[in-house]
Structures are given as structure tokens and as C-alpha cells.
Amino acid sequence: MSVLAACRQIQAEHPHLREKYSRARKVVRAFKSPAFYEVTTKCNLKCEGCYYFEGGKTASIPARDRIDDWKKFFADEAARGVSMAYFVGAEPAMAPDRLMAAAEHFPYGNIGTNGTIRIDPSVQYRIGVSVWAGDDESDKQLRGGSVFRKALRNYAGDPRAIILLTVSSWTVDQIPRVAELCKDHGLPLTFNIFSPTHEFNRKLSISAPNDSDFFRVSSPLSSPKLDDAALERLRRAMNQAIEDFPETVIYSKSYNDYICQPGARYELDPETGIAMDCQSRIREPMRYFDVSLRPNPVKCGTPDVDCRTCRMYSGGWSSQFIPKPRDTASPEAFEGWLDSLETLGRIFLYSPADAGAAKAVA
């Protein structure tokens, strides 16, 4: 039986799942025509194993400076039918005029930021505020400076914001602390898993000396990478956080159990090692534009991350859009997949109308 036929059969036998399935399809439709936009090559932090600078190939590309060029570009992209705009780069908040130029054009947007600069309230898109630790010492070690408290203050109570905790082998035990801080600041919390770049792995493999940029403290004996034992510890810790902070943590046990399993999470090309079934791959209709405003044929939204050990939240969640045989193996598995898509929508999508309605109900 095909996966689609199994979806229909389960709904026929369990009618209460039809409404969930309808909501899941609505979430998926929001991502029907996505695009990535680098809006700046500047950043004010130096994160260990940085996804953008550590091995990245677009940081040296000259940017278009005229804001009128950006305004026209975003208008043209909206006319092309882009439904979901991802604003990436080094630190998008360092290009506020470009974010504001985009704000009126796309139905949904998602901005990845380190939270040190508050994005103008006129930009009504989901803001994923990246936090890497819950104490000053770990934050300095991982990011070159302790900034998580400032990020929490900048976005406290902001309905656009969701805290994205990138968990590493060094910070698994800090999950309860970060969840408590998010609760105190009126901010939802979700998780990303540290996924090394090819360049970071190369430096570890040759015991490269530490530098003052993006390989300051790691060594073959100690790094943020997660081995199988650390992944299992992480899986248990995130599942516990879902139970202990149900009003704060936006995550899915079904997804968590999948993404924390040992081994590659994708089917890999045996020659290139690139994931063939990751839905974050840059393939039509999805496009990736660098700061020159030209499409760039990178493999995905985080081009140098090693697909063999990638557990990035962007690729992992987007790969939930299409159900797999395991998702229709039973009514319980199917409902777990539907719950994952509902969670995906809460993590990535923000609508001012929905936020207003939720506030009114509260």
C-alpha cells in the first residue's frame, strides 16, 4: 500500500484524525515556495564551528548596497510567488533596512538571529533567537562572548520570537536552566542540535591548533560534537523538558526520538556524502540568494554542514513535510507525524492575526 493510500485508510478508520490532517496540510502549504536570502555577511559574534564562516563560501561576496535594489528584488520575489522567506547570513539584524524592505512582501518569513540586536517591530515575521548556553562561562566559550541574557531581555514577551537553543555535548545539562529562563521572560523555547561543518571536522581530524575566530577551544578530545551516548542523553533531556515545561517548550517527542537516533538521518549519496532526501536542499522551486542578489547553487541553507551528522533543525523539520512509510505504520505513528507538523508550524510560522487572536483568548 502506498503512503498516500495508508494516510486515507487511517483517516477512514479513525475520523478524529481528519481535522489534524487538514491543519497539517495547511502548514505544509505555507512552505510550498520557499527561498533563502542572505541579507548581510557581517556578524558581531564568533561562534565555535560557525555554520556561516567556518567553511562557508559566500561570506566574501560583495553585497548590493543600494536599498532601492533590495526593495525591487523583494518585490520581484513576491511576484514570483515566494510563500516563505528565510532571512539568513551572518547576522541579519545587522541589516535592518533590508529586513524592513522585505517585511511587506511575503506572507511568511523566518529570521535567524543571535538576539543581540532587537529587530524593528514593523518586521512581522517569526524570529528564531539563537541561544547556545544558559550560563556565562559556556556562552563565552561557545560564542566568543556572553550574550544570552541580552537576547532574552531584547525579546522578552515578543510574540514574534522563539528561543532556539543549539544544544551541544557541552550544554545538554543546561536545558532545564534555559527553559526556566525562557519561562520567566515569556518566551517559547525549541531546540537545534549542534551539527559540525566539514571544515570543523577537518580541523579536529588533523588536530589543528586553536585560533581566535571559530576554532578557539575545541580539540579531538573535547568538542561540542555529540557522540551516540551524548545523543541519547540529549534525547532524554529534551523529552523531559517537554514534560516539565509544557507551556514553554515547543517540541515533539516523536521528532525528538527520530532526530536523536545514532547514524545519518538522511539517505546519503555514496560518492558525495550529500543528503539526497533532505527537504532543505536547494532545488526548484526553492532558491538561495547571496548578498549580490543572485541565486547561488549551494546544497542547502547551511552549505558546509556535514550531511552525515547533520541534525540541524531546519533540514530535520522540513524533511517532515512528506510522510514516510514509518509515519503510516500505525494510527499512533500517523498521529505522531501529524503532531510533528503542528509543532513545525508553531516553530516556523508567525502570523500577527493569529498572535492577536491568541492574546484575546488568553
For residue 264, the domain's CATH number is: 3.20.20.70
* pLDDT tens profile 143-177: 999 999 999 999 999 999 999 999 999 999 999 99
What is the arithmetic mean of pLDDT over 328-357? 88
Domain limits at 304? Answer: 31-322
Mean pLDDT of the chain: 95
pTM of the predicted model as reported, rounded to 2 decimal places? 0.94
C-alpha 195/C-alpha 226 separation (Å) is 8
CA 5: distance to chain centroid? 31
pLDDT for the residue 356: 54
Residue type, position 210, single letter: N
User: How large a percentage of the chain has pLDDT more than 90?
Assistant: 94
Given a contact cutoff of 8 angstroms between Cβ atoms, the answer to whether 299 and 282 are in contact is: yes
Q: pLDDT category, 354, cuts 50, 70, 90?
A: low
* pLDDT tens profile 197-247: 999 999 999 999 999 999 999 999 999 999 999 999 999 999 999 999 999
Q: Which three cell numbers stand for residue 196?
A: 559540525
Q: What is the spatial order of strands in the sheet that 108-113 belongs to?
A: 189-193, 161-167, 126-131, 108-113, 84-88, 34-38, 287-289
C-alpha 338/C-alpha 226 separation (Å) is 28
Burial group, residue 307, by CB count within 10 angstroms (0-12, 13-18, 19+): buried
Residue ranges of the alpha helices (H) in the chain? 3-13, 18-29, 67-79, 96-102, 136-143, 148-155, 175-184, 198-205, 228-244, 253-259, 313-318, 331-348, 352-361
Nearest to 223 by CA among 196, 193, 199: 196
C-alpha 216/C-alpha 99 separation (Å) is 31
Is 169 inside a domain boundary? yes
| Cα within 13 Å of Cα(198), Cβ side | 11
DSSP character string of 258-315: HHTSSS-SSPBPTTT--BSS-TTB--TT-EEE-TTSSB---SBSSTTB-GGG---HHH
Is 343 inside a domain boundary? no
Is 224 inside a domain boundary? yes
Q: Taking every pair of C-alpha atoms in the chain, what is the biggest distance, in angstroms?
A: 61
Is 348 inside a domain boundary? no
Is 227 inside a domain boundary? yes
In whole angstroms, how large is the CA radius of gyration of the chain?
A: 20
pLDDT for the residue 362: 36
Domain count, the chain: 1
What is the arithmetic mean of pLDDT over 311-317? 95
C-alpha 192/C-alpha 132 separation (Å) is 9
Nearest to 112 by CA among 293, 314, 316, 282: 314
Burial group, residue 233, by CB count within 10 angstroms (0-12, 13-18, 19+): middle
Q: Which residue has the higher pLDDT, 359 or 326?
A: 326
Is 219 inside a domain boundary? yes
C-alpha 161/C-alpha 124 separation (Å) is 10
Is 23 inside a domain boundary? no
Cis before 285? omega within 30? yes
φ and ψ at 125, to 5 degrees? -125, 165
Predicted confidence (pLDDT) at residue 355 exceeds the cutoff of 70: no
pLDDT for the residue 156: 98
Given a contact cutoff of 8 angstroms between Cβ atoms, the answer to whether 173 and 142 are in contact is: no
φ and ψ at 88, to 5 degrees? -130, -160
pLDDT for the residue 361: 35
Burial group, residue 361, by CB count within 10 angstroms (0-12, 13-18, 19+): exposed
pLDDT for the residue 352: 83
* pLDDT tens profile 23-79: 999 999 999 999 999 999 999 999 999 999 987 789 999 999 999 999 999 999 999
Q: Which three cell numbers stand for residue 223?
A: 568538542
Is 329 inside a domain boundary? no
CA 298: distance to chain centroid? 17
Q: Which residue has the higher pLDDT, 356 or 38?
A: 38
Q: What is the 8-class DSSP label of residue 124?
A: -
Task: Indicate the length of the chain as a whole number.
Answer: 362
DSSP character string of 176-221: HHHHHHHHHTT--EEEEE---BHHHHHHHHTTPPP-SSS-SS-BTT
C-alpha 129/C-alpha 148 separation (Å) is 9
Q: Compute the C-alpha angle 302/54/310, nearest 5°.
A: 40
Strand pairing class (161-167; 287-289): unpaired
